[in-house]
């Protein structure tokens, strides 16, 4: 039996640490930890002012990681992200001055405000964990987590993210407004001081790498695997969908389910894990047909319908061997 106690304990420490700053949003924090243990990236899609930047900073400090924030604007250049080579007159050589992408946790704020050329500068870093400047490739540090935000309301002066870039995000998450009592707690917690200054690291990069490798070893029963594949293939044959989930998306759902199970102290994936993660992992990978878009359908609604239509395996079948 796989021992996942260390994974669950580390996740609990991180949740508690983040909870000292972020009020509520336990599900959002848990999804960020899933992405962290999967070595994936997250697209936070919500209105300004609900704590996305604070959440990213708190997570970075909880990991003892370097943090950088890139404010995307229409005039942002790719070199503003990756860095440039500068001529040093004293040495007579060009020296590389790294950009903000070299941090371990990167907040790409309002990513859809930059042009496609600048957005594409992130693709190599997000997928290959490296940057190339003037023909020289440099690896990025571990961990490397991109938390990108975009405003779903204000569309003027924005550029939709291309499908290839959306597919690089493991999860798309909506943070949402706090309820009344949570907002009261926020007012009182931040009234006299910023609790972010007191956040201390809980795990380091070496421990994180070890925990992430254990998550990959979480078992998935063939019946649960079939359930995952049934859902993925249903997206490819539904008339409301023009392009369904790719094999990359299916693998992302499996790895995210493994990480979620490990965080919760289990050494096996359940159908509930897949159902919980289906929306944040798969919805942004669906391309609806023009007819569906004209009718005002959303990818989330289509995926919810497919989840209802896909038969869930009985527990006595998949729990026979775990």
Reported as a single tens digit per residue, the pLDDT across 66-120 is: 888 888 888 888 888 888 888 777 777 878 888 888 888 888 888 888 877 787 7
Reported as a single tens digit per residue, the pLDDT across 125-158 is: 888 888 888 778 888 888 888 988 887 655 555 6
User: Does residue 252 surpass a pLDDT of 90?
Assistant: yes
Q: What is the C-alpha to C-alpha distance for residues 39 and 17, in angstroms, rounded to an integer?
A: 20
Select from 320, 215, 214, 322 the least CA-distant residue to 268: 322
- Domains of the chain: residue spans and CATH: 5-211 (3.40.50.300), 218-318 (1.10.8.80)
| pLDDT score at 154 | 54
DSSP state of 296: T
Q: What is the C-alpha to C-alpha distance for residues 238 and 233, in angstroms, rounded to an integer?
A: 9
- pLDDT mean over 245-271: 92
| pLDDT score at 2 | 60
Q: What confidence tier does 320 reach under pLDDT thresholds 50, 70, 90?
A: low
Contact yes or no for 154/164 (Cβ under 8 A): no
| pLDDT score at 189 | 85
98: three-class secondary structure by DSSP: strand
Reported as a single tens digit per residue, the pLDDT across 88-97 is: 777 778 788 8
Neighbours of 119 (CB within 10 A): 24
């Amino acid at each position: 039996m796989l021992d996942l106690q260390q994974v669950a304990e580390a996740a609990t420490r991180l949740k508690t640490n983040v909870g000292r700053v972020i009020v509520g949003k336990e599900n959002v924090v848990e999804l960020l930890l899933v992405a962290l243990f999967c070595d994936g990236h997250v697209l936070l899609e919500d209105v300004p002012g609900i704590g996305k930047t604070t959440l990213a900073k708190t997570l970075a400090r909880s990991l003892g990681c370097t943090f950088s924030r890139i404010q995307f604007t229409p005039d942002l250049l790719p070199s503003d992200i990756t860095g440039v080579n500068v001529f040093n007159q004293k040495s007579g050589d060009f020296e590389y001055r790294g950009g903000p992408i070299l941090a371990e946790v990167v907040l790409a704020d309002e990513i859809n405000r930059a042009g496609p050329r600048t957005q594409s500068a992130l693709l190599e870093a997000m997928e290959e964990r490296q940057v190339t400047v003037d023909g020289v490739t440099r690896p990025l540090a571990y961990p490397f987590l991109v938390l990108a935000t975009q405003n779903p309301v204000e569309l003027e002066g924005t550029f939709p993210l291309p499908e290839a870039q959306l597919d690089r995000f493991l999860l798309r998450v909506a943070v949402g407004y706090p309820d009344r009592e949570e907002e009261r707690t926020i007012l009182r917690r931040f009234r006299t001081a910023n609790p972010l200054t007191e956040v201390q690291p809980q795990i380091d990069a070496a421990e994180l790498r070890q925990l992430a490798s254990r998550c990959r070893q979480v078992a998935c029963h063939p019946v649960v695997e079939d359930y995952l594949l049934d859902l993925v293939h249903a997206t490819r044959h539904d008339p409301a969908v023009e392009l369904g989930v790719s094999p990359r998306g299916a693998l992302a759902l499996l790895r995210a389910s493994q990480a979620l199970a490990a965080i919760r102290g289990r050494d096996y994936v359940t159908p509930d894990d897949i159902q919980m993660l289906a929306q944040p992992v798969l919805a942004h990978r669906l391309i609806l047909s023009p007819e569906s878009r004209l009718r005002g359908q959303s990818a989330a609604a289509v995926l919810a319908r497919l989840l209802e239509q896909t038969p869930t395996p009985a527990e006595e079948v998949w729990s026979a061997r775990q």
